[in-house]
Amino acid sequence: MKAPLMFTAAAIALAASPAAAQERQGEVQLKVLGTAVLPDGEIDRTNVDLVGLPAGTDTAANDNVVPTIAVEYFFSDNFSIETIAGTTQHDVDAVSGLPDGTELVSDGLLLPATVTAKAHFDAGGIKPYVGAGVAYFVWLDVDNDAAGTRPLGVTDTTLSDEFGFVLQAGVDVPVGDDGFGVTLDAKRYFIGTTARWFVGNTLVIENEHNLDPWVLSAGVSYSF
């Protein structure tokens, strides 16, 4: 599995460089990033279907590009903890079964709360890293008037908040000696959600969706 290999590599790097282990102890790094959120959204399982969805119905969530902020604290030169702040908004549309593009979820506003532990390496002027951590996806809002569910009389649409985990890799490139730099980052989340559609108080559709987004970021950093 990828995660154990990453942690093995991190442990080797930590053991190999004890002399440098305290150079960044207590350092804080702030990052301002442009972030592409590339979710999946496919249906993993249908638990309730009172409307008779066509066989082979499947869905996809749209991509989005948003600003994000990352805050990182270094316990040593090789080890840090990072969290991110930002929201992203997505629709979920049919890609098979129903007419292509039928909107089933409109304007789902997501807060992807994430904390990762990162192992850092020195590669002659650039600083690559790998990491892993946990995430909690919180849906702050969902529009109840998606075009594809309106004819069914749907009055409420919900997406469940869920825990998952994330793998991470990237590189920091210092620019000068004043703490500034540029950064590239890639995360892969493993997380889903349960989508429910109601007519009044009656649950008419319940699907479990794999989101599993790639989250790709680039931006600037400042360390102090």
Top pLDDT among 159 and 10 is at 159
Cβ atoms within 10 A of the Cβ of 67, count? 13
What are the residues facing 98 on neighbouring strands?
none
Total-model pTM: 0.85
Q: Which residue has the higher pLDDT, 125 or 199?
A: 199
Euclidean distance between the first and final Cα of the chain, in Å?
Answer: 35
Q: Can you give the residue ranges of every domain in the chain?
A: 2-15+26-223
Cα maximum dimension of the chain: 67
For 131-188, what is each residue's pLDDT tens digit? 999 999 999 999 988 988 888 889 999 999 999 999 999 999 999 888 999 999 999 9
Fold of the CATH domain 2-15+26-223: Porin (2.40.160)
Helix (H, G, I), strand (E, B) or coil at 18: helix
User: Can you tell me the distance from the alpha carbon of 200 to that of 154, in angstroms, rounded to the nearest whole number?
Assistant: 8
Report pLDDT digits (tens) over 38-86: 999 899 999 999 999 999 999 999 999 999 999 999 999 999 999 999 9
